[in-house]
Amino acid sequence: MRKIISCLSVLSFYFATAQSIETIQVKTPVKSVTLYLDGAEVAQSKQVNLNPGRSLITFTGLSPKLISKSIQVNVPADVVVLSVSDKINFLITEKLTPRGKQLKDSLELFVDANTQNNYELSALNQEKAMLAKNESIGGHEKGLLVSELKLAADFYRVRLKDINNELFKLEKRTVKNNETIERLQNQLNENGDTETPTAEIAILVNCTAKTTASVDLKYVVKESGWSPSYDLISEDVNKPIELKYRAKVYNNSGIDWNDVKVKLSTADPMRSASKPDILPWYLNFSSPVAYYGNNNVNGNYSNNDNNNYKNQVSAPISQSQSLYEVEIMEDKKGKKLELQKQSVIQYEEVQVSELSAEFDIKQTYSVPSDAKPYIVDVVTYNLNASFQYYSVPKVEKEAFMLARITGWEELDLVEGPANVYLGGTFVGQSYINTRSVDDTLNLSFGRDKKIMVTRTKLKDFNSERTAGTSRKVTYSYEIVVKNNHKGPIQIELEDQLPVSQNSEITVDAIELSKAEVNNLTGQLKWKLSLNPDETKKIILTYSVKYPKSKSIQLYKSKAKTRAKF
């Protein structure tokens, strides 16, 4: 039987004892890592030979970002742990890589060169100031001969010219050195190569007989964790969707993780040991949360447009906006890792299930301490889905394909972005929103070019008339949908009527082509079935009546950026 001791506080060591204490220094690599959404639990282990009596086992070279109260020590039953403490050792640092050392040496050379330049610049400026102060040649009482004055003037002119030339060369050299210093420093920062202090954990143990003990150490470190990333792949609308569950793991703990066993968890690494309590669970109506791949990158949706659609799926974004720059690296075992070049760690709040999920990763991974996200494959699912099409021709005259997935609640998904592929082509980025309480998860698979959608103003039916004190404006549009697929499709169209918020403004629906109407929002919805090569038309006509002495905004607009000359 083994005993586990959790270090809840830093304990002092009591060395005033008649017994001598054996000191054992231990430096061992990280064996496994459990990555949480915010934080990581690091596990290390070492076999040590213990003599009877007290021994001080010190694990060195640990992460300086470890959390003291998270330390756990596991030892055999015949070994007693007396105390555990930790400290930062600023004298022992994590060594630079050969490339990092080369960059640092180069950086020091250019810094030293600039220091010398500054000394020379100072000396020359002082000499120049001394010459400038010597305004009186030969004193005030007696002047110089013309020949002597000419010699003095020539000397001043030549010397000042030489000084200015040297100052120019030194200043130019300093500017170039500064540019090189900045590039070298940026490269060092990009590599995450810095000499950082390390932490130590000292464990005071006691045993009654000579033994070989396995000392297992666990602790939580900050600035490490993982974030979900998905690939949704559909080869054909008649085949299941392949969902590749991936994780972007990052390590900024100060210590590299080389060839370690990885586990992902949605639990809280600093969870309390106290019994949990159930708090009241209140239900009320709330508006669904809308997500976008990149803050509404299409610039197509206003606050009032297409709200229902936005609450379910995000608008696809372009490839340049959704893909990171990827560099392929290879670890010691030859397994290739995709390194996404984005070094700044940004945090966001997400919702996860109260019942924590864990994923054991089969392969081992190497994750440098450089704060960059590395892709780890988690699991792949094949999901049955039904497809339908959706279009808001007032906003964008294209059709979007939606996949309606059931049974997603059992997959332990964490909300996050998903790259979408259709027929082997990247079509954009969507967002998996697990906050939905529906049993169906709607995901956008991007635009479908085989469905033509147009919305045209019918000029002959648009009019503006004034009668008495009122003005009446009539608008009429024709929406045309054509199916160029080889099979039948289901498509949902949306448009809208303006909604009056003033009793003096009247909106009348003249022709809606049997649309479903939401009187509160003005939303119009048509559900159409189209056979191959079939075309259907919808007529939308409405009028707005208001006092002619007042003005209202009858056209919706969107903000764009342009050059100003």
Q: How large is the average pLDDT for residues 418-439?
A: 79
Residue-wise pLDDT for 435-452, tens only, equals: 765 677 888 888 888 899
Those residues with Cβ within 8 angstroms of residue 520's Cβ, 6 or more apart along the chain or in another chain: 499
User: Which is more confidently placed, 290 or 61?
Assistant: 61
List beta partners, residue 244: 231, 380
Q: What is each CA distance from 328 to 85, 258, 432, in whole angstroms?
A: 40, 17, 27
Q: What is each CA distance from 190 to 336, 346, 397, in whole angstroms?
A: 20, 16, 43
SS3 233: strand
- CB count within 10 Å of CB 439 equals 10
Q: How large is the average pLDDT for residues 469-486?
A: 93
- Specify the residue for token string 């969870």: 271
**The pLDDT of residue 294:** 35
Q: Is the pLDDT of residue 361 over 60?
A: yes
Q: Is the pLDDT of residue 342 over 70?
A: no
Q: Report the residue count for the chain.
A: 565
- Give me the amino acid identity at 39: G
Binned at pLDDT 50, 70 and 90, residue 90 comes out as confident
The structure tokens listed for 558 are: 């969107």
User: Which is more confidently placed, 91 or 421?
Assistant: 421
In which element (H, E) is residue 429 found?
strand 425-432
The structure tokens listed for 472 are: 């009446």
Binned at pLDDT 50, 70 and 90, residue 147 comes out as low
Most confident range (mean pLDDT) of 270-274, 350-354, 384-388, 511-515 is 511-515
**The pLDDT of residue 211:** 93
Q: Is the pLDDT of residue 219 over 50?
A: yes
Angle at 35 between CA 29 and CA 39, to 5 degrees: 95
Of 89-103, 252-266, 409-423, the least confident: 89-103
**The pLDDT of residue 513:** 95
**The pLDDT of residue 192:** 61
Q: How large is the average pLDDT for residues 420-424?
A: 84
Q: Is the pLDDT of residue 262 over 90?
A: yes
Beta strands 489-496 and 523-530, pairing class: antiparallel
User: Which is more confidently placed, 145 or 356?
Assistant: 356
Percent of the chain with pLDDT over 90: 38
Q: Is the pLDDT of residue 308 over 50?
A: no
**The pLDDT of residue 390:** 93
**The pLDDT of residue 284:** 59
Q: Is the pLDDT of residue 420 over 60?
A: yes
Q: Is the pLDDT of residue 5 over 80?
A: no
Select from 551, 371, 404 the least CA-distant residue to 492. Answer: 404
Binned at pLDDT 50, 70 and 90, residue 213 comes out as very high
Report the chain's mean pLDDT, rounded to a whole number. Answer: 79
Q: Is the pLDDT of residue 74 over 90?
A: yes
Domain map (residue ranges) of the chain:
2-95+195-221, 119-138+146-190, 224-447, 458-547
Maximum C-alpha span of the chain? 113
State in Å, rounded, how far the first CA of the chain is from the last one: 80
User: How far apart, in whole angstroms, are the C-alpha atoms of residue 434 and residue 436?
Assistant: 5
Select from 510, 411, 516 the least CA-distant residue to 461. Answer: 510
The structure tokens listed for 385 are: 């889905």
Percent of the chain with pLDDT over 70: 77
**The pLDDT of residue 329:** 40
Q: How large is the average pLDDT for residues 90-118?
A: 78
Q: Please give the model's pTM, rounded to 2 decimal places.
A: 0.63
